[in-house]
Structures are given as C-alpha cells and as structure tokens.
Amino acid sequence: MRMKPVAGILLRQFYLIRGSPVRALPMFAWVAIDIVVWGFITRYLNSMAAGRFNYVPSLLGAVLLWDFFTRIMQGVSTAFLEDVWSRNFLNLFATPLTISEYILGLVITSVGTSAVGLAVMLVLATAVFGLSFFSLGVLLVPFLLVLFGFGIALGILASALVLRLGPASEWLVWPLPALLSPFVGVFYPLATLPRWMQDIGHLLPPSYVFEGMRAVLAGRPFPAGGLAVGAAIAALDIVLAGYFFTRVFRYAIRTGLLARYSAESAS
Amino acid sequence: MCAHSPDSGSHLSHADAGHPAADPPAGVVLSVAGLCKRYSEVIAVEDVSFDVHRREVVGLLGPNGAGKTTTLNMILGVLSPTAGSVRIGGIDLALGRARALAQANFSAVYAPLPGNLTVEQNLRFFGLVYGIPGLGRRVGELLREFDLERLRATKCGVLSSGEQTRVALAKAVLNRPRLLLLDEPTASLDPAAAQTVRARIRGLAAEAGCGILWTSHNMYEVEAVCDRVLFLSHGRILLEGDPRRLPREYGAATLEELFIRLAREPLAEPMGRAG
C-alpha cells in the first residue's frame, strides 16, 4: 500500500473541513449538545435519587461512548459521501488509487474528526458535570478501541450500501446507529431485553463495551474476556465490511454503475 | 460476438506488483484488443481493437450511443470489459491496474473536478493520488503553463467553462501521462478558447510525446488535430484512417459528410472504398 494516495484522500477532507464551517461544526456541536442535555438529565436524576445512586457515570458515560461510536461511523461515511456529492468517482477511480488506500484514507479522516468530538465531550462532561472518566485511565482505551473498530466497520458498510443503491440511499446511513442502539444496551443491561434481542446484542461489539462499562462502574472486575470477544467481533466486522465494499465496487465496475454514478448524482 | 473475459469483474482484486509487463511494440502506449462490453442482451462495444502510439492523436468518432464513452471507461478501468484486453504502456490493465493507470490520465466534460476545492487544492489532491514526486513544483509549473495562477485560490465550481477545461487539462497532465484520454475536451468552449486548447493538446503530443485518444463531434477540429481517426458505430469500428484522406477515399466531400453517412447507416457494415 502506498501512503501518498492515502495522504491525498486525507488532504482533500482537510481542505473541505478547513474551508467550510458547516463541515467543522458537526464535529463537536451535536456531541456537545448531547452531553449538555444528558448532563442535566443526570443531575436531575441524581437529585431525585438523593445520593443513593450516581447517574453521572452510567448515563453520561454511556452517552459519551455512544456518541464516539456514532461519530466514528459517520466520519467514514461522510468522507465517502463527499465523493458522492461532488460526483468525483470517475476522477478518483480512474487513477492508480486502490480500494484499500481509499478506505484507509476515509478511516484516518474519521479518526481525526472523531478525536475532536471525543475531546470536546470529555472536557464538557468532566468540567461541567463532574464525570470522572479519566479516573478509568488506560482501562478506557479498550472500550474506545472496540467502539472504534465497530464504527469503522459500520461506516464502510454504509458507504458500500450507498455505492450499491445510489446517491438517493444516503438517508439509510444516518439512522443506522439508532437502529442498533436498542440491541446493544447503551443505557440498560442486556438482561433487560427479551431473549431474541439479547441474541442479536451478543453479535454486536458495543454490547460488550456497555456491559463492561457498567461492571467497572459497579466495582466488579474489569471484563477482559467480554471485551476480547467484542474486539474479535469488531475485527471480523471490519474484514467483512471491507470485503462487502470490495464486492460492491467490483459489481459497480462490472455493471457500469460506477461510470454512470456521476450522471445519476446529477439527477 | 463477445466471449466472456476471464478477467472481467475481478481485475481490481489483483495486486499490481509482480506481473511482468509484456514488451509493447515500439512506441505503442495503448493497445486495445478484442474489447467487448455487453449488458444483458445489449452489446455496447463489440470486438474493438486498435493501438495508439507515442506522439499520435487518435480521434474516436461516432454518433451518440456508438460506444465511445463506454470504450474510454473500459480503458480507464472504471468499467470492466466482457471480453478483450487493454494494455497501457505494455501493462495489462486487468493484471496491473494501478501501474497501468499511473501512466494514463483523462479529462471529460461530464467528470468535473470537485467544485468545492480550489484550483490549487484540486491539483495537490490529485497529485498525491497519482503519487507525483516534487508535487509543489509540478503544481506551480502547471498553474503557469495553463495560465491558472490568478485562479489558484478560486473554487473550481465557480470557474467559467473555459477555465474549468484548463484546470481539467492541467490535472490530466499532472502525472506526465504516456496516454491521455480526452472526451470532448472542447465541447463547451467558444471557438477562440477551443483553438487554444487544441494547440495546447497538439503541443502535448509533440513535446511531451504522449499518445492521445480524443473524442469529438466537431469534424473541423478532428481534421485539424487528429493524425488518425476511428469511426465507431453500434459499438464497432467501421473505418480507420487519416481524417484528411478518408472523405475522398470513401466518396464524401468532407469528413462531416462521411460522419453523417456512417451515423445513418442502419446496420453499419464496414464500408467499401470509392472506386
């Protein structure tokens, strides 16, 4: 793999973000609003609980991790959609660029944009609402890595869907995380769910993160085994999503979909 | 008829390293052999074969829907052929896609550069994608060469047609391609701008030594620029030759008249020469 083309994909996204406040704002605005809203909800719940339970880590921590996952996923798919919106496929894929170089460029873009969002969330949640996430220290890293892996996989999958189904299918991308959220127990233990939903939840890496986070906050041992399973599923999902994207790309090359994509984008 | 190519649909998965390039005949930058594209029962391109040599401008002519853009898309690797092969600089596109495309570039009116990037940003972006060494210097050269220096910080989306064409051409020669594909490069230009672009492209062939495959509906332009033309109709090559001699050889007064006659042939068979 050559790094110059990857740097090209990154540079393009950097130019777009630098040149457009409309693109820069969503990197931190929505996550900041989420943290503020949920921060006040947890304050209210804490006042109702009168010291019997601290909702800040379990609720606000869950919101923070979930928003991080969502940002990662949307970071990949939004970078991809930039090429859809600017009808750039023909220019891009008539070059020596390989699929792996292209996807790596999208992933690194997402890392950068999500890091901004994560930093804003951590600062707000810690400074304003007293979330002591930093006290988890390095234990936070595995949680973030599993969510990062699955976010990447879902972002690649969403991009492949848009490539396969056409520009109008862009609306499918945005609700994907919300569609998964009931199954992964962001705010409640998986045991709360009916059996069939639990079975689906066990196939989704974020379930292990949120179960693990609640275990740590409850003072139980660090759930290394569960997180390892989550990480393995996330890694497998990345491979499967990459394979799916490649298959869709080949289909688009074979059927002429890629060559016609510009014309379809214009309609 | 189009027999299925063993490579079709899978050529992108091949690694680009390790496939030795067969030695191309001297000076051949593009070799297309038996190229076919079939969509279900519709044959878009059938058994098209031709070469493009260094310093040669070859016109790919034909009525709308003749298969010109389909042929160009297959050469650019964004459409896989049902059968046949494309070799760029001796490298089989199906086996060494990245290495083959590193030697080519293109400009087409229907593939504008991203309008939300400036002229300079677009050149830097595509320069990295093509892996150009000394990119800053190369971008500076092209901005000067294509008279784009005053537009370097202007977003491409707000440029005039002529300015966009110049930027697209600058991007098309970023990697000093051995093969340049131009799909109606002067389609939206006024006559003066078109003449400048034609001169520049002729210069590229003569000075940089690249081979150029050019599509156009402007027969005057074709006669002025192309060393050789290929007439495509119903996905097949009907005629090939010198655009200045072909009309006389086939009993037509002008290239345009010959074009119209060929375009109206219901079942275009290769034409016989005039007695």
Query: How many Å lie between the alpha carbon of B76 and the closest alpha carbon of chain A?
Result: 5
Q: What is the DSSP letter of B118?
A: B
Residue B17 scores a pLDDT above 50: no
Q: What is the DSSP letter of A56?
A: I
Residues B9, A4: C-beta atoms closer than 8 Å: no
Residue B230 scores a pLDDT above 80: yes
What chain B residue is nearest to A105 in terms of C-alpha separation?
A: B129
* Residues whose CB is less than 8 angstroms from the CB of residue A65 and which lie 6 or more positions away in sequence, other chains included: A143, A144, A147, A186, A206, A209, A210, A213
Cβ A136 vs Cβ A216: under 8 Å: yes
| CB atoms closer than 10 angstroms to residue A267 | 7
Average pLDDT over all residues of chain B: 86
What six digits make up the tokens of A130? 């007293």
Query: Is A88 touching B (CB cutoff 8 A)?
Result: yes
What six digits make up the tokens of A243? 């394979």
Q: Which of B13, B99, B101 sits opposite A95 (nearest CB)?
A: B101
Fold of B37-103+179-269: Rossmann fold (3.40.50)
Question: How sure is the predictor about B263, in pLDDT bands with cuts at 50, 70 and 90?
Answer: confident
Q: Which of A15, A246, A254 sits opposite B13 (nearest CB)?
A: A246
Question: DSSP assignment of B141-206, as one string?
Answer: HHHHHTT-GGGTTSBGGGS-HHHHHHHHHHHHTTT--SEEEEESTTTT--HHHHHHHHHHHHHIII
Query: Is A2 touching B (CB cutoff 8 A)?
Result: yes
What span, in angstroms and rounded, lies between the C-alpha atoms of A73 and A151?
A: 4
ipTM, 2 decimals?
0.88
The residue whose two tokens read 């509906």 is B217
Cβ A163 vs Cβ A48: under 8 Å: no
Range(s) of chain B covered by CATH 3.40.50.300: 37-103+179-269
Query: Is A215 touching B (CB cutoff 8 A)?
Result: no
pLDDT of residue A166: 87
Lowest average pLDDT, out of A58-72, A219-233, B90-104, B259-273, goes to B259-273
Cβ B120 vs Cβ B149: under 8 Å: no
Residues A249, B12: C-beta atoms closer than 8 Å: yes
User: pLDDT tens, A113-155?
Assistant: 999 888 888 888 888 888 776 666 677 889 999 999 999 999 9
Residue B178 scores a pLDDT above 70: yes
